[in-house]
Copies of this chain bind each other. A is one copy, B any other.
């Protein structure tokens, strides 16, 4: 059997309260006794049970991360930011993939509640009313990360998708492009919609005829959509709603014997690790993904400590990274 606090207490000839005190670094323990206890702990290889502790203190020092799919190259860096920040603050991390399925989201939220997590970081693109309602009724610290449905009553860390898209398109316009296409993401993903709107507005304000092709946020989708876009619109520039889409589009552009950026200039969004490995290297809107994760945990910590009342949203800065695929002068 694993030793318990009682085993330690008996062997060290003290009460378990004292053992508990040394465990929690309570200063009012005589050094001599502290050392004796420590020694016994060592001898026995004793490890306090976090579970018993949690039950007694009603806190778990665990935070939960719920995200769509760790396999999507956009998320690992966020996850890493969250994990690093969490561990730094002494929290362990639960993780669950939902594939954006509201059913699963709710199920995992429930599970986390049952596990008594101290807080939840939720990355969801599709938050429905029901989930929101469930979340609010939880009375639990929650931070929405990156893909907010606007107007929801939660802390959130986001980027300004609208502006990011607007800037990318404006760059193309500044370069003299007239036929700028947009590969959009799924309609139920808020950030995709915002980027689309940004694109549309930028085009309109320059009196240019927009062309949008809607797909999923995947490489394959980028390939397939791009074929039709070329056939129907003959763009000289492309703004893709995320890098995977852009990379897929580039593949198709090359397949047709067209050049990048010569025939078609391309800008993506997210700056996933691979965007600098493509040929030509993908120009893209860079998002401080790691920092988003760190910030999310900070907001969570604030809530957990009760430092702050009321909600708080943090908007992270994005930046157009001028690599090879968008043509034009080097902006650096």
Contacts and interface: CB of A to CB of B under 8 A. Distances in A.
Interface stretch (A111-119, A193-201, A229-237): A111-119
Interface stretch (A25-33, A75-83, A165-173): A75-83
Interface stretch (A87-95, A123-131, A203-211): A87-95
A277 B274 contact: yes
A282 to B, nearest CB: 11
Interface in A20-72: 45, 47-52, 54-55, 60, 62, 69-71
Contacts of A94: 62, 92-95
Contacts of A114: 47-50
A100 B93 CA distance: 18
Interface string A263-282: 00000000001100111000
Contacts of A77: 71
A21 B87 CA distance: 37
Contacts of A254: 279
A110 interface: yes
Contacts of A62: 94, 115
Contacts of A84: 97
A55 to B, nearest CB: 5
Chain copies in complex? 2
Given A94-B94, A251-B279, A71 B60 contact: no
Contacts of A247: 277
A80 B75 CA distance: 12
Contacts of A50: 114-116
Contacts of A93: 94-96
Contact of A71 (B76, B113, B115, B278): B76
Contact of A80 (B97, B116, B137): B97
A79 B278 CA distance: 25
Contacts of A48: 114
Nearest to A60: B51
Interface string A92-109: 111111000000000000
A92 B115 contact: yes
B274 A47 contact: no
Contacts of A80: 69-71, 97
A113 B47 contact: yes
Contacts of A87: 96
A73 B70 contact: no
5 contacts: A47-B113, A71-B273, A92-B96, A94-B94, A251-B279
Given A50-B116, A73-B273, A93-B95, 12 more contacts: A47-B113, A49-B55, A49-B116, A62-B115, A70-B83, A73-B73, A83-B95, A92-B111, A93-B96, A94-B94, A94-B95, A279-B279
Sorted nearest first, the 7 A-B pairs with minimum C-beta distance are A50-B114, A51-B54, A70-B76, A50-B115, A95-B95, A71-B76, A274-B274
